Amino acid sequence: MRVVLDSNVLVAALRSRRGASFAVLGALRAGRFEIALSVPLVLEYEAVLLRHAGELGLLPGEAVGVVDYLCAVGRWQEIHYLWRPTLTDPGDEFVLELAVAAECRSVVTHNVRDFTQAHMFNIQVLTPAEFLRALREDR
């Protein structure tokens, strides 16, 4: 199963080891699913993690290390076609475009309502907890 992880899932995972977002990263590390990556998404990951590094208890180098790890395990996807405007938040368009280009099953995010039009592309939009349930059902 291939998905796109929104940057808010990474921040939530690094904020608390008790939540579903942290469990999602654990499932990624265990190889239970694959993430799709693009240059815009990786740049967002890095910017967001560096911006929140202090509150997450990370040094800047550690924040970059998280991004490096995601780059090492993710599947890189070039995007040749833009579907804009589709979403209510223009800042999320590149996430949906990546999901479409990489033929992902889902986008995993805490901002589900920002992706209401993803269904037009047969892409599920799931919270981390919903995604973990889907992973269990796929076994």
Q: Which two tokens stand for residue 93?
A: 């368009």
pLDDT per residue as tens digits for the range 22-78: 999 999 999 999 999 999 999 999 999 999 999 999 999 999 999 999 999 999 999
* 3-state SS record for 97-127: HHHHHCCCCEEECCCHHHHHHHHHHCCEEEC
Residue 13 pLDDT greater than 90, yes or no: yes
Residue 79 pLDDT greater than 90, yes or no: yes
Q: In the prediction, which pLDDT does 89 show?
A: 86
What average pLDDT does the segment 6-31 reach? 97
Angle 23-123-73 from CA coordinates, rounded to 5°: 45
Provide the pLDDT confidence category of residue 81 given band limits of 50, 70 and 90: confident
Residue 122 pLDDT greater than 80, yes or no: yes
Domain extents in the chain: 2-138
Q: In the prediction, which pLDDT does 25 show?
A: 98
Q: In the prediction, which pLDDT does 138 show?
A: 85
CATH number of 2-138: 3.40.50.1010
Note the pTM of the prediction, 2 decimals: 0.95
Q: In the prediction, which pLDDT does 120 show?
A: 94
